[in-house]
């Protein structure tokens, strides 16, 4: 219940209600884009400042290794299961969506940890960046393989072009660049940027989650008529993926804060970066399916229920 009393979460709930009521409330696209870039920049700066204090520790290396492993395991498992229910192209797109990560879910989780005084490493922002591309690359390979089986090998998209687009995505570069700035400037940079990256952060997050609530509510309709199995996957896959991440965290001895964020990353699904690439690279897949499932079901589940549950479990186990 305490999670729902957080202003940012309440604005998300308000957005869900306004969207469900078909209100004309809307955040202009340029402002929503600015808010997402601001949040990534602020998160990168915070991560860089924290990393400047801690340095490169064994836990940093282990955390990044766990993140990369989850970025490969989750889409592979997802594709094996999903191809039984949908076409190979839809399965590839969905496995990319659920194998990649949601930056907003991660940012909301870091705010939740801050509010509850649970420490975590700034390097987890780098872990998030590392987890974004492997699933996209795997999905394109799987889609090209499916085209070969159908005798349409020449219609495949260049893996090199897709890799370049996914690895040079502006949002991801901004996150890593801001982290580099924070790492280089350290304590002096933290003091200088506190009004920007610290004081404004909570309000900007609340404003952005209002927009996300509106979008989530308005995308639920795209899932009408879909198989109950797919809807169940959108709701059950996140805790399963989080459980796998928890097992890795236990095996590698991660702290509760870092383990909780690894669980959040594994449980999240991309609704910005992956759909933008997959729409071009796998045009045979249905955007309403992978976008509707990730934003309409999985994102609200993680924001409203998942984050506090993952953090509580991590505190008890790690």
CATH of the domain at 58: 1.20.1530.20
Q: Does the pLDDT of residue 43 top 60, yes or no?
A: yes
pLDDT confidence band for 153 (50 / 70 / 90): low
Q: Does the pLDDT of residue 264 top 90, yes or no?
A: yes
pLDDT digits (tens, 9 = 90+) for 194-214: 998 888 888 998 998 999 999
pLDDT confidence band for 112 (50 / 70 / 90): very high
Structural domains counted in the chain: 1
Which carries the bigger pLDDT value, residue 308 or residue 55? 308
Range of the domain at 270: 2-317
Mean pLDDT in residue range 171-195: 88
Distance CA 201, CA 206 (A): 9
């Amino acid at each position: 219940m305490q999670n729902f009393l957080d202003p940012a979460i309440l604005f998300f709930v308000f957005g869900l209600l306004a969207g469900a009521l078909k209100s004309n409330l809307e955040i202009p696209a340029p402002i929503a884009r600015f808010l997402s870039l601001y949040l990534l920049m602020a998160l990168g700066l915070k991560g860089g400042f924290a990393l400047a204090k801690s340095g490169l520790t064994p836990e940093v290396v282990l955390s990044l290794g766990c993140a990369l492993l989850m970025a490969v395991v989750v889409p592979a498992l997802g594709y094996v299961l999903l191809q039984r229910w949908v076409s190979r192209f839809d399965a590839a797109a969905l496995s990319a969506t659920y194998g990649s990560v949601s930056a907003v879910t991660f940012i909301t989780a870091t705010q939740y940890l801050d509010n509850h005084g649970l420490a975590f490493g700034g390097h987890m922002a780098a872990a998030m960046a590392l987890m974004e591309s492997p699933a996209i690359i795997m999905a394109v390979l799987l889609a090209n393989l499916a085209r070969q089986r159908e005798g349409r090998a020449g219609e495949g998209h260049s893996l090199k072009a897709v890799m370049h687009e996914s690895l040079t995505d502006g949002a991801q570069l901004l996150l890593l660049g801001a982290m580099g700035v924070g790492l280089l400037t350290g304590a002096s940079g933290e003091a200088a940027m506190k009004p920007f990256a610290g004081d404004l952060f909570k309000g900007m997050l609340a404003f952005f989650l209002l927009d996300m609530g509106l979008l989530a509510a308005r995308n639920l309709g795209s899932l009408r008529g879909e198989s109950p199995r797919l809807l169940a996957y959108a709701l059950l896959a996140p805790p399963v993926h989080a459980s796998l991440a928890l097992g890795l965290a236990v095996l590698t001895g991660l702290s509760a804060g870092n383990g909780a964020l690894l669980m959040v990353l594994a449980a999240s699904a991309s609704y910005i970066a992956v759909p933008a690439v997959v729409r071009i690279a796998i045009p045979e897949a249905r955007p309403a399916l992978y976008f509707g499932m990730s934003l309409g079901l999985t994102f609200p589940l993680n924001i409203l229920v998942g984050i506090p549950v993952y953090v509580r479990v991590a505190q008890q186990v790690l």
